[in-house]
Structure 1
Amino acid sequence: MIGPQVAWLPDGRRLHLNHGPIDLIVEVFGAREEKRHAYAQAADRFQTILTELVCELPELRRRADATPRKFESPTANRMERAVYRHAPAFITPMAAVAGSVADEIMAALIDGRTLDKAYVNNGGDIALHLAPGQSMAAAIAGTGHGLADRLVIDAADPVRGIATSGWRGRSFSLGIADAATVLARNAAEADAAATLIANAVDLPDHPAVTRVPANSLAPDSDLGERLVTQNVGALSPAEVAEALERGRAVAEDFRRRGMIEAAAVFLAGENRSVGSIALRAPTEELTRMLADA
Structure 2
Amino acid sequence: MTRRPQIALLSDGRRLHLQDGPIDLIVEARGRAGEVRAAYEAAARRFTGLLDELCAELLELRRGAEAQTSLKGVVARRMHAAVAPYASDCFITPMAAVAGSVAEEILSSMLGAATLDRVYVNNGGDIALHLGRGEHFSVGLMDRPDRDGVMRAMRIDANDAVRGIATSGRHGRSFSLGIADAVTVLAASASQADAAATIIANAVDLPGHPAILRKPANELQPDSDLGARLVTRGVGELSKEEIATALESGAECARQLFDRGLIEGAVLRLCGDMLVIGTKDIEEQRSRPLVLESAVA
TM-score range, shorter chain: over 0.9
Aligned to 1:83: 83
Aligned to 2:69: 69
Aligned to 1:47: 48
* 1:245 alignment partner, SS class: helix
Provide the rounded CA distance (Å) in 2 between the counterparts of 1:174 and 1:279.
30
**CA shift at 1:145, angstroms?**
9.7
Check whether the contact 2:64–2:92 (CA below 8 A) recurs between aligned residues: yes
Counterpart amino acid of 1:135? H
The 5 Å alignment of 1:248-259 reads: 248-259=251-262
Moved more, 143-152 or 248-257: 143-152
Question: C-alpha offsets along residues 152-180 of structure 1, whole Å, 9 cap, x if unaligned?
Answer: 11110011000000000111000000000
Moved more, 67-76 or 32-41: 67-76
Please list every run of 5 or more consecutive structure 2 residues that lacks an aligned counterpart in the other structure. 280-288
Match of 1:233 among 233, 236, 240: 236
Aligned to 2:108: 107
Provide the rounded CA distance (Å) in 1 between the counterparts of 2:23 and 2:148.
27
Aligned to 1:96: 97
Provide the rounded CA distance (Å) in 2 between the counterparts of 1:267 and 1:259.
23
TM superposition score normalised by structure 2: 0.92
Match of 1:171 among 151, 170, 174: 174
Aligned to 2:283: none
Aligned to 2:293: 281
**CA shift at 1:254, angstroms?**
0.3
Match of 1:266 among 266, 269, 291: 269
Q: Please list every run of at least 4 consecutive aligned residues from structure 1 whose deviation after the TM superposition is greater than 4 angstroms.
A: none
Percent identical = 55
Aligned to 1:216: 219
**CA shift at 1:69, angstroms?**
1.6
Provide the rounded CA distance (Å) in 2 between the counterparts of 1:112 and 1:24.
19
Check whether the contact 2:42–2:113 (CA below 8 A) recurs between aligned residues: no
C-alpha RMSD of the superposition: 1.6
Question: C-alpha offsets along residues 49-81 of structure 1, whole Å, 9 cap, x if unaligned?
Answer: 10000000000111013x242422100011011
Provide the rounded CA distance (Å) in 2 between the counterparts of 1:134 and 1:278.
15
* 1:90 alignment partner, SS class: coil
Check whether the contact 2:143–2:150 (CA below 8 A) recurs between aligned residues: no
Question: C-alpha offsets along residues 88-110 of structure 1, whole Å, 9 cap, x if unaligned?
Answer: 11110000000000000000011
Counterpart amino acid of 1:85? P
Check whether the contact 2:143–2:272 (CA below 8 A) recurs between aligned residues: no
How many residues are matched?
284
Check whether the contact 2:127–2:190 (CA below 8 A) recurs between aligned residues: yes
* 2:7 alignment partner, SS class: strand
Is 2:187 aligned against 1:184? yes
Counterpart amino acid of 1:14? R
Counterpart amino acid of 2:81? R
Counterpart amino acid of 1:211? R
**CA shift at 1:274, angstroms?**
1.2
Please list every run of 5 or more consecutive structure 1 residues that lacks an aligned counterpart in the other structure. none
Check whether the contact 1:79–1:188 (CA below 8 A) recurs between aligned residues: yes
Question: C-alpha offsets along residues 222-245 of structure 1, whole Å, 9 cap, x if unaligned?
Answer: 000001111111110000000000
